[in-house]
Structure formats: C-alpha cells, structure tokens
Structure 1
C-alpha cells in the first residue's frame, strides 16, 4: 500500500504539477515566456538523458529478472525505431503544420509528436491536442509505475524527469488552446483533466505489472528509449537554431544542470 501511495503522489507530480507550473508561466509577459521556454527545454533534455543513462538503463541491467546484453541493445533499438514510426503514423500531427496561418515564434518548437506547434484558427486543434496529450500522459503514468515497481528511488527520478519535460510542453499546449478559442480558465481545466491521464496510467500499470515482474526490464528500456528519442530527435534539433556562442553555452550549461539534477536526486535518495 505504501508503494501505491508513492506511485499516486509522483504520478501527480509528473502530470498535474507540471500543468500548474506551466500555467503560472502564462502570468509572465510574452517576452519573458519566449525567453524561458528554450531554457526549460535545455534543462528537460539533460533531465531525460540523465534519467535514461543514470537510472533506467542501469536498473534494467541490474534487475533481478535482468536480460542479456543483446536483448538490452535490441530493446533499445526497437524502442527508438518504434517511436520514429509512431511519429509518422500520428495523423493529428498534420494539424500543427498547416501553411498560410499566422506564425507565432513562441510556438515554433518541437512537440512531443515530433512536429512543430503553429498557430491556426481550426477549432479542432484544441481537442486534438488534448487527446494526444491524454494518451501521452497515460503512457507516462505506466512508465512511472514500472520504475517504482523496480525501485522507489528510480520512480522518483523518472517522475522528476517527466515533469521537467512536461512543463515546457504544457506551456506550448496552453498557448495553442488559447489561440484555438479556449478561455484561460477553460484551457487550465481541460489541461488538468488531461494530466490526470498520468494517474490513470499509473494505477492501471500498478495492477497490470505487479504480477509481471519479469517484463519490467523491458518496460524500463522502452521508457529509456522514449526519453532518449524525445530528447535527441524532438528537442535538441530546436536548440541548433540558436548558434551564438553565449546561447550555445547557456544550452550546454542547462543540459548539464539537468543531468546533475538527476544524478544528485538519484544519489541522495540512495
């Protein structure tokens, strides 16, 4: 029961808390939000890579039902290729890339499907974003549970990495909802509902995976491949748009800070 409480609390951290923090950024002037998002993305990259290489993959290797080295490599490879294929198959991604609409620099960043957010006046954009995020959050919940079932400390680190990634993404989603005709109150309400998908995924994952411990190393590796893919394929390319030495130094520093944050969190908890 204690483990279930940990899972519930940190699935809310990974989902609900990130929505609340992202919504607070809407109170800032647009100029400040535009400056903040790239920094948040850089930190999220470091946190996700740190969680993958310092937490998820080592725990998958050390698990009591550990799989051999070739299976580990194959699972990571198939995970990366699967996420690439999923990007190609997600139809609502095309709703984000229509041409001929007003461009908003703040939204010109990779989304978690690999596309780019652009402003458009289609009323369907808001609901489609919410559907995609709910599914994404549901999967995050399962990954958080898998990490907690392996090790409580790993679960905490995984939830923190997910929260770090979700904050800039949720901020972008808020702006899309507002430009799709949602009021601030309505956008917050529906984003909170969507974030509860993390809790639903965590609870379903708990009851589904508790009796299937031998599958946990594979789930951890899929989680790692998910983090690696999002960081390397979706987020890092956007950073290359800024090439000034000071901007590059800021990016590298914040990525390193994200890695150090995960390292300290993991080491402290142990």
Structure 2
C-alpha cells in the first residue's frame, strides 16, 4: 500500500474512532461515565509511555540518518519545556484538563448559573473546537513522521494517539453540550475537528519528504509530547484516588497499556 494512503487511513480512522467511542460514552449515565474515565486514562498513560520509550525514541536513535544521542536528548528536553509553555498559554491544556477527574458536568443539571457563568459556558465551545483542531493537526504531523520512519511504528503511534483521544473527546463533548450545542451539532463539529489530523499528516508527509534528515528530531518531539501528556496532565488526575485497590487498578491498567503497545510493535515485526 502506498505510504501516503497508510498515513491518511490511520489519521482518519484514529480520529473517527476516538470521536465515535466518546459519542457512545455519552449514552451512559453520568455516574457510569465518571466511573469509566479514570480507567480509560490509566490505559492511555501506559499506551503513551509505551509508544514513547519502546517505539519513538529507539527508532529516532536507530534512524538511518545517524544523529548524535546528545542532540536527541536536548531535543527531548526542549520538547518537554515547549509543551509546558504551550500549556501555560492554554493552547494545550484544554485537551487534557478533564482527564482523570471524577466530576464531569452534565447537561440538563440545574446549576443556577448567573449571566456571567452562562456567557463563559457559551464561549468555551468555540475555544475547545479551535484548540482541538490545532491539537489534531499536531497529532497528524506526529503520525506522518512515524509512518515515514517505519510503517509499524506509524501504526503503534496512531494507536497510542487514539487511546488518549477517547477520554479527551468525551470531555470535549460534555463541554460542547454544556455550552448549548445539540448532540448532533457537537458530533458534527468534533468530526470536523478530527479532520485536522489528516490535514496535518498530509502536510507533514510532503514537507518531511524533502527534509527526511529531520525525522529523528520529529520522532523525539512526538515522544516528548506523549511523555508530557502522560506525566504532567494525566497522572496527577489519578492521585485523587488513593485507596490501595484503586492504586492497584491504575498500575495494572497502565501496565496493560504498555503491554498493548509492546505486543502491537512485536507482532508487526
């Protein structure tokens, strides 16, 4: 199969699957969703860390364009710092701030909001959509870079992205509904936003084809984004659940995410 077809297919399927799963979760009760999200987040943490340390970083080091390990290490550190700054500028945070938290606002619940709060709720919808599209565009670049290095790595990267997109999309759906969007309209705009992944992937494919020597650095930046999301955004949310049984569940699910990536990568090779 042509490489560009692989890239477009997995960029499209990953985005649509995450939106579809999130939309399906909206059919569950508020209590069921609040109960399920931490489990999804734990698995996503393992998938992101597994893709970073078992896939992206090793492939960057072993890439045909030999790059000094210290340069890649510096790129990784700069990537982590950059995502910290982006989060401070509220260009990244909205995508993950609802993960791992027990409470998810429910449409139709009587909040007795004042006018200022209602206005803020309506403004949140467009902000979420703009930020989500930017986030999806970046994800597309990462998927394309992974596929251009190795098809198997591309598939693993797309799977890891899809795993953490599901709880993200669920949070985004709830915010859109709370902002006054109908379920049909929220689904439509989320699907439209997910097309940002395909656009980013195609853009990166043609750009990186001319600058293939940059691929190892792009892979490390991808790893830094996955590590930052897992460690800075997702893991802190799990600390609100401190009972030994909950900690054991989280550890097992994180391990399951790592094993899922490891087996996916091993079977493809």
CA distance in 1, matches of 2:92, 2:239: 26
Query: Which residue number corresponds to residue 129 of structure 2?
Result: 130
Mapped partners of 2:265, 2:66: distance in 1: 20
Deviations 1:71-101 (A, max 9, x none): 011010000011111111237969x99xxxx
Secondary structure at the aligned position of 2:180 is classed as coil
Relative distance call for 1:92 and 1:168 in structure 2 (3 A) is: closer
- Are positions 1:106 and 2:104 aligned together? yes
Distance between the aligned counterparts of 1:249 and 1:40, measured in 2? 15
Q: Which residues of structure 2 form unaligned runs of 5+? A: 106-116
Deviations 1:92-150 (A, max 9, x none): 969x99xxxxx98125xxxxxxxxxxxx5321100000000000000000000000000
Q: Secondary structure at the match of 1:264?
A: helix
Tell whether the 8 Å contact from 2:60 to 2:219 is kept in structure 1 after alignment: yes
Q: Using structure 2 for the length normalisation, give the TM-score.
A: 0.90
Q: Is the 8 A contact 1:13 1:160 kept in 2?
A: no
Superposition TM-score, scaled by structure 1 size: 0.90
Cross-structure match for 1:32: 32
1:18, 1:170 within 8 Å by CA — same for their partners in 2?
Answer: yes
For 1:194-213, what aligned pairs fall within 5 Å after superposition?
A: 194-213=193-212
Distance 1:221 1:16 in 2: 26
Residue in 2 that maps onto 1:235: 234
How far apart are residue 29 of structure 1 and its match? 1.3
2-side partners of 1:31 and 1:213: how far apart? Answer: 48
Superposition CA RMSD, Å:
2.0
The separation in 1 between residues aligned to 2:53 and 2:92, in whole angstroms, is 31
Matched residue of 1:124: which SS?
helix
Structure-2 separation of matches of 1:29 and 1:244 = 24
Instruction: Look up the match of 2:173.
Output: 174
d(CA) in 2 for partners of 1:106, 1:246:
23
In structure 1, what is the Cα distance between the partners aligned to 2:218 and 2:92?
26
1:158 match: 157
Q: What SS is found at the alignment partner of 2:138? A: helix
Match of residue 100 from structure 1: none
Matched ranges for 1:30-179 at <5 A: 30-90=30-90, 105-106=103-104, 121=118, 122=120, 123-179=122-178
Is 1:224 aligned to 2:223, yes or no? Answer: yes
Give the aligned partner of residue 114 of structure 2. none
Aligned residues of 1:13 and 1:159 also touching (Cα < 8 A) = no
Matches of 1:93 and 1:146 in 2, distance apart?
24
- Equivalent-residue separation in structure 2 for 1:62 and 1:49 (angstroms): 19
In the other structure, the counterpart of 1:14 is 14
1:91 and 1:197 map into 2 onto residues whose CA distance is 15
- 1:54-82: CA deviation from partner (whole Å, max 9, x where unpaired): 00000000000121111011010000011
262 and 104 in structure 1: CA distance in 2 versus 1, 3 angstrom threshold: closer
Residues in 1 aligned to 2:212 and 2:102: alpha-carbon distance in whole angstroms: 46
